[in-house]
Structure 1
């Protein structure tokens, strides 16, 4: 019970940390900070924070670096850090924190769509679990389209308790503040989420031969720092654009790197090792709720019918996909415990093959050998 409560508390802290990152990043960009500069600083700060963990925790256990692993890390930095974050923060500047967080919940559905052709996931359309994953994916995509292209009337106006600093920031920098584009912003966030899903596929392959998550993350952040710095210099020639004044720019960049990248990765890795990736994924809709409340209360963001309906569909679709994954895991455990007697049809064979790719069957086999020993 104590371990369950600690894992629950840690995941809530992670989501609160991400919510703070979205709010602070939006304020920094409202102050006139370029999203390209913001992402470059984030990667630099993340590298500085996570590098000591990689050195001290994995200096004796990290595998040998090969050309294939190096190329996979390079692709991971390109899709998982550079493209993902540049597109996300440009999309955030052109939309709102609530919309950006809502569309980020498309990640499980997009990952499922990409994982099927790479044989990292099975569909199993004849089983309830497979049907739930397919229907959940369709509902997620439909919710994203509704949220992106339908605005509607306002359900709730701005809060009377809004953050005066944010209000003053908007007035002081009214000439520099970027106006929202409710088509471009959501579109870029969706492409960003697709890039993140591609990163998951690359990470699944790389994890099979390079089991040093802190080292690979430090290298990804380092490579991304170079890539984002190059993009930032092309987009922003004026050196004044790289200034960390006013203070909200420095606070936002440091927070995004230390909390949004380094700390969040360490905490989620701890939870994944003890509770599994499904447990961690379930908490992603919590971010949407926290950001929606904070944006309404602090930033005077209005809640529209399209935003509320689309967000609800995304959350429902997400839980349908997660329910299907959980049902598949339970079925796999049952068939494994009974020696495979309940394997029926091609769908179950595909499910076992997927488990073999993920290494679960190999782990179970090794555990059995230790018990016999």
Structure 2
């Protein structure tokens, strides 16, 4: 019972950690921290945090194919995913960023069909649910990206956090583009979906989550460092004198890279990639509440409607996948039972002549 509960607890903690990261990271970038700089520091602190666990607890044998798969994981799940996401978060809002992250299962399904890891099964109800859910997810993402509409009057938060209010005021004087930001977040989800597909294979051939995470974060440090230094040349951009920059970098690296990747790898290994995707809407709810309470973010009709469509589509995809998995298991069990029955019949037919001969011999005696 406890072992079955652990993946659930792990994923709840991951979503809570990501929700807090969105708020802290948004504050850091609103006060002048560059997204690429934040990503680089995130990888550095993540590598330092997870390396001791990998060294003392695992030390597995690492082959070249494992290194290559880990490199692909670092490129998609860390570099592409995080660089695009933080740029998108900088240009939009935490709620929009989290809502669009929920397109992940739909994008994962599309890629899995393209790479023939999934079948559409359009003639069955499960396949129709997956296709319909994917369509609804994409429609919700487009609505959320390109339409906002009237602001919903849900009242004002009674929490007055001066630091957040000053940061928001500073950011409002600068430029932002929620449409471009939304497109960056969608591109981030695409990179994350590719990571899920690669990580699902890697966790089977190389079940060492600490080592995998340490290697991935180390490789991503180099990749993001090259990108960051080539774009941000000024030394002042890399300064960590501001407390919010230090908190955002350390928290994102330790909690949302080192800890989260280990917990997600563990959950994928125990329950599969799709199980991990189920918990995405929890982060949306948490971020929406925190953004309203701390950052005084306004909720629009387009944001709410798009988010609801995305979550509805998400669960349609997951329902279809779950139903398909049950049907496959029933089919496999039926085939196994049929084979066992055939084996018993063969054994019985083989034994019948021997029994008959023995009875004849006994009668003649």
Q: Please say whether Structure 1 and Structure 2 have the same fold, judged by a TM-score greater than 0.5.
A: yes
Contact 1:158/1:302 (<8 A) preserved:
no
> Are residues 219 and 7 of structure 1, via their aligned partners in 2, closer, same or farther at CA, if it must alter by over 3 Å?
closer
Could you say which residue in structure 2 is the equivalent of 1:299? 295
Which residue in 2 is equivalent to 1:311?
A: 307
Aligned-partner Cα distance in 2 for 1:122–1:214: 32
- Decide whether aligned partners of structure 1 residues 281 and 90 sit closer, same or farther in structure 2, where only a CA change above 3 A counts: same
Q: Could you list the per-position Cα deviations for residues 25-54 of structure 1 after superposition, in whole angstroms to 9, with x for gaps in the alignment?
A: 000001100000000000000111111122
Within the candidate set 218, 221, 239, 2:217 is matched to 221
Which secondary structure state, in structure 2, belongs to the residue aligned with residue 40 of structure 1? helix
Query: 2:54 aligned with 1:54, yes or no?
Result: yes
- The TM-score, its normalising length taken from structure 2, stands at 0.87
Tell me which of 240, 243, 256 is aligned to 1:244.
240
Identify the residue that residue 12 of structure 1 maps to in structure 2.
Answer: 12
Aligned to 2:114, what secondary structure does the other structure show? coil
Whether contact under 8 Å (1:63, 1:212) holds in the other structure is no
Residues 134 and 317, structure 2, Cα contact 8 Å, conserved in 1: yes
Q: Distance in 2 between matches of 1:113 and 1:274?
A: 23
The verdict on how the C-alpha distance between 1:254 and 1:7 changes in structure 2, with shifts beyond 3 A counting, is same
Contact 1:63 1:210 in 2 (8 A): no
User: Do the aligned partners of 1:106 and 1:318 also contact (CA within 8 Å) in 2?
Assistant: yes
Q: Alignment partner for residue 318 of structure 2, among 319, 322, 326?
A: 322
Within-5 A mapping of 1:2-81: 2-3=2-3, 6-59=6-59, 62-66=60-64, 68-81=65-78
CA contact (8 A) 2:95 2:288 kept: yes
CA 1:7–1:201: 2 relative to 1, 3 Å: closer
Counterpart in 1 of 2:119?
A: 122
- Partners of 1:69 and 1:277 lie apart in 2 by 19
| TM-score normalised according to structure 1 size | 0.85
Q: Distance in 2 between matches of 1:174 and 1:199?
A: 32
Gaps of 5+ in 2: 339-365
Over the aligned positions, Cα root-mean-square deviation in angstroms equals 2.0
- Take 2:205 and 2:171, find their aligned partners in 1: how far apart are those partners? 51
Q: 1:314-337: per-residue Cα shift (whole Å, max 9, x none)? A: 000000000011101111221122
Match of 1:83 in 2: 80
Matched positions, count? 337
Is the aligned partner of 1:105 residue 2:102? yes
CA distance in 2, matches of 1:133, 1:232: 38
- The one of 185, 203, 210 aligned to 1:189: 185
2:165 to 164, 167, 175: 167
Q: Distance in 2 between matches of 1:280 and 1:107?
A: 11
Distance 1:269 1:75 in 2: 15
Structure 1 unaligned spans of 5+: 343-373
Q: Does 1:259 align with 2:262?
A: no
Q: Secondary structure at the match of 2:152?
A: strand
